[in-house]
Amino acid sequence: MNEALQQNEADNTENSEELYERFSITIDKGQEPLRIDKFLSNRIEGATRNKLQQAINLGMVLVNGSAVKSNYKIKPGDAVIIYSDMSPEETDIMPEKIDLQIVYEDESLMVINKPAGMVVHPGSGNYSGTLLNGVAFYLQQKLPDITEAVLPRFGLVHRTDKNTSGLLVLAKTHKAMRHLAKQFFDHSVKRQYLALVWGDVNADEGTIIAHVGRHQRFRKLFEAYPDGEYGKEAITHFKVLERLGYVTVVQCVLETGRTHQIRVHMKYMGHPLFNDDFYGGDRIVKGTVFAKYKQFVDNCFQLCKRQALHARTLGFIHPETEKEMFFESPLPKDMEAVIAKWRNYSKTKNIEVE
């Protein structure tokens, strides 16, 4: 057999807010009939039989445009597309009673407003207290038969950073999971973030295009790579909403969803997010450093003790009704307070922007 993996469009989950990957394979002319689950487990690195079976059951394995069952036998010329979570198996999700800010819920999905400081799903060092621990408990109270095997990750199809607040959508059925995962991969989901960044952003609006990948030395960080030789394509559209002298309120719309994308892109522009301790925003970046100003900035850091980034809007097509849904989350109190403080400071001090 000489099957070629013609196009690997995988969005590595280490480098993406979307949790599902896409693989595209065209079957070689010399391929003998073989069950698709067996074929894919041999062809996709890191794909366990369990995850492949989940993907097939979810209808996320397509052959020539149609969903197939595990016993389907591939044949020469078949075009196979897989949308699936191919990341390594993770820690079991233990249900925990946690207060959730549920914005919307129906039989297919739920939209949750995540507070800053909450991790989305269990992982190294965060095995409890996460959003998914709370979702697992909530769903099991309503749907006793639901398990992580029935609905992987309890319907999570995307995520945000621990210290980013705002909207997330989760699926409650296999159809909804498949439908939403495809929308995220196809970049048709409408996401708008609001951020407070250091400095006076020159252009009123624009687009940042620079690949995002792990920092080649400090593996917990990500870096912008404008030449595109490393990392994955990342596109952020921004618009200035309010200029406050040494800081600017900007609206960011994601065309792609890489990990830390807005944070990395704004740093790349020279405007790190206010109080972003990963990317240099937790110090005075703009403004003349003198005692009273330093105290003012320190007070602002105390008001908003995390990167000032909020997932404000979320829009997608409902998997059952096919109607567009749109949700908006108001600014959390910490960001609202720090912006108001800067607004007042910029008026009273008549700042000359550097």
d(CA 165, CA 248): 19
DSSP letter at 158 equals B
CA gap 335, 346 in Å, rounded:
16
Burial of 242 (0-12, 13-18, 19+ CB in 10 A): middle
CA separation for the pair 164, 332 (Å, rounded) = 11
Residue of 191, 224, 257 whose CA lies nearest to 15 = 257
Residues 6+ apart with CB under 8 A from 336: none
β pairing state of 79-84 and 21-26? antiparallel
Tell me, what amino acid is at 334? D
Annotated catalytic residue within 161, 186, 200, 282: 161
- Bridge partners of 104? 111
Cα separation, 294 vs 286, in Å, equals 11
How does strand 34-35 pair with strand 73-74? antiparallel
Looking at residue 109, the DSSP 8-state letter turns out to be E
Long-range contacts of 87-91 (CB under 8 A, 24+ apart): 87/13, 87/14, 87/19, 87/46, 88/46, 89/48, 89/50, 89/51, 90/121, 90/122, 90/123, 91/122, 91/123, 91/127
Backbone angles phi, psi at 101, to 5 degrees: -90, 85
**Secondary structure element (H or E) that encloses residue 140, with its range:** helix 131-142
Token representation of residue 135: 């979702």
Is 161 a catalytic site residue?
Answer: yes
Output the DSSP codes for 336-350: HHHHHHHHHHHHHHT
- Catalytically active residues, by annotation: 161
